[in-house]
Amino acid sequence: MSSGGAPTPPEHGDEAQERHDYRAVNPRAARATFVLVGLIVAAVVAGGFVLLGGGGSRDRLAGPVATSPTIDRGAEAPELDAKTAEDRLGSGHVALKVTHTQLLRTRPDPDGQLVARVGRKTPYGGPNILPIIKARGDWIAVVSPYRKNNKIAWTKVREGAKYVSVDYSISISVSRRTIVVRKDGEVVRKFGSAVGQVTHPTPLGRYAVTDGLIFSTKVRGPYGCCALVLSARQTKLPAHWAGGDRIAIHGTPNKQSIGLAASLGCLRVGDRASRWLVRKVPPGTTVLVRALAGVFPERTIKARTPESSVMVAGVERAFALCERLNRLGYADQSEIRGLVAELTGRPANESLRLVPPFWSDCGANLRIGERVFINHGCTVNDLGGITIGDDVMIGPNVQLISSGHPTDPERRRREVVVAEIRIGRGVWIGAGATVLQGVDVGDDAVIAAGAVVTRDVAPRTLVAGVPARAIKQL
């Protein structure tokens, strides 16, 4: 979707590369700025037209959509009373409805670098709804398109602030090319999707829905009937690109592209799917975009192949290193980190705490974030790849198993099937839990003791049981 070429305020320090959009204060200023840079975007109240960037080639972006007016707007989230909202701040189910100009800063401090002045309306004419990630005193951290991808903005809560309830969430798997929609933690819809090309990949991370747009049915452009505009921005556009950089989930007349890496970063779905999304999913909904290793969620390693020979050698190496590590005591954290670095082939963060014994069958495909705690007796079989995010706590005797075998008896002893596991930021995995191959665990989720996780886990969700199922939203 098109996005601002607005004048920027003075830039300082690490924020010098940030994109600033002070025209978000009101739609009329936003429209003027967008038109000045050669893009066609206007508020609905002005009878405007929408030019979406990142959904196709430059030629496809330029003409047809400019004749497709936005005639309606999608779902709206219900308002919350102040007390309920305050009790639920930081739960992932509350968003701020901007009623007066809000100053967005880089940190919860009046002296923090100013990122943007945000008004009641988005540049597309809808209400400005900012999902709240966490709260600190009178300050809240929000998801906003006015910072770099995956960076939060802070704003001070005004007296009489209005909030809305956010019941939906969206998880997008770029490698599976699927969009999963949940309501109150339960899956309600799943759609196939086209994703960004290899050279223009769909940006990964945590974003938010900012607008739901419904276009005229009289003239259908390359974006189908509808679009959910996201806060994400495409940072890998073609050279000399003159269009916008906002990412969207939108319809497409080119249904053959669904399931392929075919766009400039946007997510393409069928018109029926995009219409449902816009009618049901309101602004303020969080969107998690992730990718598993490789193009497909699973791959097979066959016996007596060069790849299997490398695998066997890697297993022997990993076992030898784990045996050395397991002779150390908990107090030997420096030596433990040194062996973890040797095992993974990358430096181990100083904040890592690991209690031996610990087992891995590869190590080279294991990535561990900051401030991670791994309790004793854990097995991390990372042949398929395992990524452990920041601030993760892993209980005793947990098993992360990214490899297995086909159930077909004829193939079972001759093939190994692998798929990446991703553990998001702030996850807690209880004692004795097992996470199997191809599973994506969302940020701040909790896996109960003894659970066997075979499917993706939504952010801020407690799962338990065999197989694990959602118990409640956190």
Catalogue the active-site residues.
405
- 214: closest CA among 227, 231, 204, 223? 227
Specify the residue for token string 């707007």.
73
Other CB atoms within a 10 A radius of the CB of residue 75 amount to: 16
Q: Which two tokens stand for residue 142?
A: 């929000």
**What are the structure tokens assigned to 390, written together?**
């920041």
Contact 191, 218 (CB under 8 A): no
Given a contact cutoff of 8 angstroms between Cβ atoms, the answer to whether 325 and 319 are in contact is: no
- The residue to which tokens 């249904």 are assigned: 255
The C-alpha atoms of residue 327 and residue 137 are separated, in whole angstroms, by 46
Residues 378 and 358 sit within 8 Å (Cβ to Cβ):
yes
CB 413: neighbour CB atoms within 10 A?
Answer: 10
- The residue to which tokens 């995995």 are assigned: 429
